[in-house]
Amino acid sequence: MLRSKRACLKGLLAVAACSLLNAARAVAAPAYPAKPIRLLVPFAPGGSTDALARILAKGLSARLGESVVVENRPGAGGNIAMGAAARAQPDGYTLLIVSSSLVINPGLYAAIPYDPIKSFAPITYLAAAPSLLIVNAREHAGSVGELVAEMKARPGAYNYSSPGIGTAQHLAGELFRLTTGVALAHIPYNGAGPSVAAVAAGDVQMGLASLPAALPLVQSGAVRALAITTRMRSPAAPDIPTFAEAGYAAVESDHLQGLLAPAGTPPAIVQQLSKATDAVLAQPETARQLVDLGFIVGGGTPEEFQREIARQLQKWPAIVRQAGVKVE
């Protein structure tokens, strides 16, 4: 009996010591964040993803009480920045803005320096980045259905522009081609500006272009927009119907923009960053700035963003293979 009491006492002392140790560790652990956070951007300054990153960095800096510093790491279709983030310490002090290249590149490149699921901890789905199907102002078709009918009546007579091979707009064009079964040639240009200008000049009959790049020419009448690629209309262009409304629901591409941390980042930090990001996105001024850039504002939990990444990984690499897209 005495031995049993002694054993019980030892167990209680061990539990108490462990609790004290954990409490001491909790007290000793510095509050997050305790130093500046770097936000990697896979593209050069000046583009829409970079602009989104800078808006987010400003909002998070104010909310977290530490500077969030944008660091541009362009190159290899986003692979350089994504690889750097995948190798970074999972301590919450390196974050990554991603675009659709996260889910497209696994099908586009023979090897990539990250695993889109295993290398990252999703934080928040930031925004959808719509693209527009635009046609030359002299094109007779006034709807997607009429355009498809004309292309089927004149097989091989139509081509479309994009900002380059492997871009989200290129793959949206291939999705349109595969869904409708039309004969449609891809003409890649070096960037969004030249791609849209080619449609306006009549060098190509149509194009897929980001909303910010295309909207000024739509508003001026130089080109005509027939549909938007997202599941909902854009607040920046509410009169342009979705492909689903035009009768082609399968042609859906939101060109995701999201915030990730390296895999292994403590869940408490991920949750703190997700809540802070949602709060930034909910600010009216932030929402206005993002809409002005052509985005549809997102938000939501890490788990919801994880499911969206998984959904798009099922979709885009398969489209890349089916379309035979290859980077040069």
- Domain locations along the chain: 37-128+254-323, 131-251
Please tell me the predicted confidence (pLDDT) of residue 191. 87
Report which of residues 86 and 12 the model is more confident about.
86
For 273, the token pair is 């960053």
Please tell me the predicted confidence (pLDDT) of residue 13. 44
Q: How far apart are CA 298 and CA 303, in angstroms?
A: 14
**Roughly what angle, to the nearest 10 degrees, separates helices 101-108 and 302-323?**
40
- What is the tens place of the pLDDT at every residue in 255-304? 899 999 999 999 999 999 999 999 999 999 999 999 998 899 999 999 99
Please tell me the predicted confidence (pLDDT) of residue 9. 45
Q: Residue 195: which residues within 8 A CB-CB, separation 6 or more? A: 161, 162, 163, 169, 189, 207, 209, 213
The phi, psi pair for 322, rounded to 5°, reads -65, -35
Q: How far apart are CA 35 and CA 13, in angstroms?
A: 38
Please tell me the predicted confidence (pLDDT) of residue 10. 52
- What is the tens place of the pLDDT at every residue in 140-153? 899 999 999 999 99
Report which of residues 10 and 207 the model is more confident about.
207
Please tell me the predicted confidence (pLDDT) of residue 15. 47
Q: Where are the alpha helices (DSSP H) in 67-221?
A: 79-87, 101-108, 144-153, 168-180, 192-201, 211-220
Q: Residue 179: which residues within 8 A CB-CB, separation 6 or more? A: 248, 250, 251
- pTM of the full structure: 0.85
The phi, psi pair for 201, rounded to 5°, reads -80, -10
The phi, psi pair for 157, rounded to 5°, reads -90, -10
- Could you tell me the CATH superfamily of domain 37-128+254-323? Bordetella uptake gene, domain 1 (3.40.190.150)
Instruction: Please tell me the class of the 131-251 domain.
Output: alpha beta
Please tell me the predicted confidence (pLDDT) of residue 327. 79
- What is the tens place of the pLDDT at every residue in 49-68? 999 999 999 999 999 999 99
Please tell me the predicted confidence (pLDDT) of residue 67. 97
